[in-house]
Amino acid sequence: MSLVVMGVSGSGKSTVGAEVAERAGATFIDADDLHPASNVAKMHAGIPLTDEDRMPWLRIVGETIAQHSGERVVMACSALKRVYRDVIREHAGHVLFAELEGTRELLAERMGARQDHFMPLTLLDSQLATLEPLQPDEEGVTVDIALSPDEISDRILSRWLATP
């Protein structure tokens, strides 16, 4: 089963995803690298993406996971809405989601400290407004980003590796 580390910008998806992949001997892929140039340009300009912008990208995310069938894959992807996660599942198959959650203040602090990232701090509120947390019927785990990176990775790994 593949793992998607999800959450808003600044939650640590890439950092945690890479750590979990390394510890599990899995392939790590950052969905940010799969965005078309038009999406990156919009975000860089401080313009929130629409569902129309995201859907082709989400299909690519799911298809990319599916291309790694038979191996462990960790994908860092915002996957903010249930419908986005459904698109990923539709194309990727069986996926476990690890939602990274945190306070707005901590997220803003982290985003403010980043350099050379296309997502400006001004889009944090729109991402938080869009976020639909994992639902009880979705296979996944939610982890507080206030924990240490090792603790976050431990919790995700214990849930992921215990899933048939």
Query: CATH no. for residue 151?
Result: 3.40.50.300
State the amino acid at position 23 in one-letter form.
R
Strands lying side by side in the sheet with 95-101: 27-30, 73-76, 2-6, 95-101, 140-144
Give the pLDDT of residue 112.
Answer: 63
| pLDDT tens-place string over residues 25-82 | 999 999 989 999 998 888 778 787 889 999 999 999 999 999 998 899 999 999 999 9
Residue 115 has pLDDT above 60, yes or no: no
Confidence category of residue 104, pLDDT binned at 50, 70, 90: confident
Domain count, the chain: 1
Domain enclosing residue 70, as ranges: 2-161
Confidence category of residue 11, pLDDT binned at 50, 70, 90: confident
Confidence category of residue 116, pLDDT binned at 50, 70, 90: low
- What's the whole-number mean pLDDT along residues 113-123? 55
Q: Is 124 left (phi over 0), alpha (psi -120 to 50) or beta?
A: alpha
E strand or H helix at 103, and its extent? Answer: none
